[in-house]
Amino acid sequence: MSEQCVVCQHCDHFIAMPTLNCGERAYCPVCHAPVKAPELCSTQHILAFAIAAIILLFTSVSFEFVSFAKGGLFHSFSLLSALPTLAENKGTALALLLALVIVILPLTLLSIIIIAYSPLWLRLNLIQARRLTKFLSSLEPWSMTEIFLLAILISLIKLISLAEVRFGLSFWSYCAFVCCFVQAMNLLDKQILWERVRPYRPPNDVNFALSASSQGFKVCSTCGQIAKTSRCPRCHTKLHLRKPASIEKVLAWLMTSAILFFPANLLPIMTTTQLHQSTPATIFSGVVQLWQSGSYPIATVIFVASILIPLLKMAAITALLLQSKRFHHGGSAKYTELYRLIEFIGKWSMIDVFVVLFLVALVQLGILMSVNAEIGVLFFALMVFSQIMTVHYFDPRLIWDDPKEPYGKSDHYDS
Question: How far apart are the C-alpha atoms of 125 and 104, rounded to whole Å?
Answer: 25
Q: Which of 81-90, 97-106, 175-184, 303-312 has the lowest mean pLDDT?
A: 81-90
Q: Tell me what pLDDT residue 109 has.
A: 94
% of the chain with per-residue pLDDT over 90? 23
Query: What domain range includes position 305?
Result: 241-410
What's the pLDDT tens digit per position in 70-96? 767 777 778 888 888 777 776 678 888
Q: Residue 249 above 90 pLDDT?
A: yes
For residue 406, pLDDT over 80 is answered with no
Task: Give domain status of residue 193, yes or no.
Answer: no
Smallest CA-to-CA distance from 394 within 252, 297, 218 is with 252
Mean pLDDT of 299-323: 86
More confident residue, 20 or 395: 395
Binned at pLDDT 50, 70 and 90, residue 262 comes out as very high
- Checking if the pLDDT of 105 tops 90, the result is yes
CA distances to 160, 185, 269 from 381, in Å: 26, 24, 10
Q: How many domains does the chain have?
A: 1
User: Of 70 and 124, which is predicted with more confidence?
Assistant: 124
* Partners of 34 in the β-ladder: 27
Least confident segment among 17-31, 260-274, 377-391: 17-31
355 in a structural domain: yes
400-406, long-range: CB within 8 Å, 24+ apart, which pairs? 400/11, 400/12, 400/13, 400/30, 400/31, 400/211, 400/329, 400/332, 400/336, 401/12, 401/242, 401/324, 402/327, 403/324, 403/325, 403/326, 403/327, 404/327, 406/242
d(CA 237, CA 107): 25
Rounded to an integer, what distance in angstroms lies between the CA atom of residue 114 and that of residue 111? 5
Q: Say what the alpha-carbon torsion angle 219, 225, 228, 234 is, to the nearest 10 degrees.
A: -130
- Residues ≥6 apart with Cβ < 8 Å to 35: 6, 8, 15, 17, 26, 27, 28
- Look at residue 367 and tell me if it is in a domain: yes
Mean pLDDT value of segment 115-139: 89
Q: Which of 63-77, 249-263, 298-312 has the highest mean pLDDT?
A: 249-263
| Ranges assigned E (strand) in 230-369 | 270-274, 277-281
Contact by Cβ (8 Å): 221, 237: yes
Strands 14-18 vs 3-7: parallel, antiparallel or unpaired:
antiparallel
Binned at pLDDT 50, 70 and 90, residue 205 comes out as confident
Percent of the chain whose pLDDT exceeds 70: 87
Whether pLDDT at 389 is above 80: yes
Q: How much is the pLDDT for 261?
A: 92
Q: Is the predicted pLDDT of residue 15 greater than 70, yes or no?
A: yes
Residue 246 lies in a domain: yes
Backbone φ and ψ for 362, nearest 5 degrees, come out as -90, -50
Task: Output the pLDDT for position 258.
Answer: 94
Q: How far is CA 90 from the centre of its chain?
A: 26
Question: Which element (helix H / strand E) includes 183?
Answer: helix 169-187
Give the pLDDT band of residue 410 (cuts 50, 70, 90): very low
Among 50-59, 183-192, 370-379, name the most confident range: 50-59
pLDDT score for 345: 83
Q: Where are the beta strands (DSSP E) in 187-264?
A: 218-219, 226-227
**Structural domain contains residue 204:** no
The gap from C-alpha 3 to its chain's centroid, in whole angstroms, comes to 32
Inform me whether the pLDDT recorded for 404 exceeds 80. no
* Higher local confidence (pLDDT), 254 or 43: 254
> Could you read off the pLDDT of 129-184 as tens digits, one per residue?
999 999 998 888 888 899 989 888 888 877 777 678 888 899 999 999 999 999 99
Radius of gyration of the CA atoms of the chain, in A: 24
What per-residue confidence (pLDDT) applies to 405?
61
Q: Is the pLDDT of residue 363 over 80?
A: no
Question: Please, what is the average pLDDT of the chain?
Answer: 83
Helix axes 169-187, 105-116, angle to 10 degrees: 50
CA torsion angle 277 283 289 292 (round to 10): -170
For 27-36, 193-202, 363-372, which range has the lowest pLDDT when averaged over its residues?
363-372
In a domain, 185, yes or no: no
Distance CA 191, CA 117 (A): 13
User: Would the pLDDT of 110 be above 90?
Assistant: yes
**86-95, 106-115, 371-380, range with the lowest pLDDT:** 86-95
pLDDT at 315 over 90: yes
Confidence of residue 305 (pLDDT cuts 50, 70, 90): confident
Phi and psi for 167 in degrees, rounded to 5? -100, 130
Torsion angle of alpha carbons 329, 8, 213, 211, nearest 10°?
Answer: 50
Which CATH number covers residue 275? Answer: 1.20.140
Residue 328 reports pLDDT greater than 70: no
Asked if 182 and 146 count as a contact pair (C-beta separation under 8 A), the reply is yes
Residue 5 banded pLDDT, cuts 50, 70, 90: confident
For the ranges 58-72, 203-217, 243-257, 363-377, the lowest mean pLDDT is seen at 363-377
Whether 192 is covered by a domain: the verdict is no
pLDDT digits (tens, 9 = 90+) for 25-55: 788 888 888 887 555 556 788 899 999 999 9
**Lowest mean pLDDT across 37-41, 67-71, 288-292:** 37-41
